[in-house]
């Protein structure tokens, strides 16, 4: 079991986190923003963008379902994060090992907060928005 609490994360740690995510065995209290970013980035490094997006969508929906949450998934936010992370990975040197690119992209996202305005709107207590949305 891994929580990916701290980076740098190696390939085995990223694989373990991805496995927990896709199996729905990681608890929501351990699946925070850093873990969202790590899973999304690792999927993008290992798969086509479309497949990575599909796997992220399915995993988030499943994770909410197994934790008894009927609401909370935000597809638009998931799509935006996947696109943002894919663009960041494209800017990384392709000759670096995947785990280096993973860690650099996640740290960049945590520091730069490229979608902070979108995240705020998605989590605001407006009538159509659900609090605690799970979409990265």
How do the domains of the chain map onto residue ranges? 11-123
Contact 7, 107 (CB under 8 A): yes
Q: What is the pLDDT of residues 84-106, one digit of tens each?
A: 999 999 998 889 999 999 999 99
Phi, psi values for residue 134, rounded to 5°: -115, 90
Contact 119, 58 (CB under 8 A): no
What is the pTM for the complete model shown?
A: 0.81
Name 31's Cβ contacts closer than 8 Å, sequence gap at least 6. Answer: 21, 63
Q: What is the pLDDT of residues 56-76, one digit of tens each?
A: 999 999 999 999 998 889 999
Task: Considering only the C-alpha atoms of the chain, give the largest distance between any 2 of them, rounded to a whole number of Å.
Answer: 47
């Amino acid at each position: 079991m891994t929580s990916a609490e701290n980076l740098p994360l190696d390939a085995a740690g990223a694989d373990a986190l991805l496995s927990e995510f896709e199996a729905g065995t990681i608890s929501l209290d351990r699946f925070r923003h850093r873990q969202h970013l790590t899973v999304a980035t690792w999927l993008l490094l290992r798969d086509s963008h479309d497949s990575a997006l599909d796997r992220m969508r399915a995993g988030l929906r499943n994770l909410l379902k197994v934790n008894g949450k009927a609401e909370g998934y935000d597809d638009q936010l998931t799509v935006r994060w996947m696109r943002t992370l894919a663009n960041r990975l494209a800017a990384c040197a392709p000759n670096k090992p995947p785990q280096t690119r993973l860690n650099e992209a996640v740290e960049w996202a945590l520091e730069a907060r490229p979608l902070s305005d979108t995240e705020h709107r998605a989590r605001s207590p407006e009538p159509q928005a659900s609090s605690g949305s799970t979409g990265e």
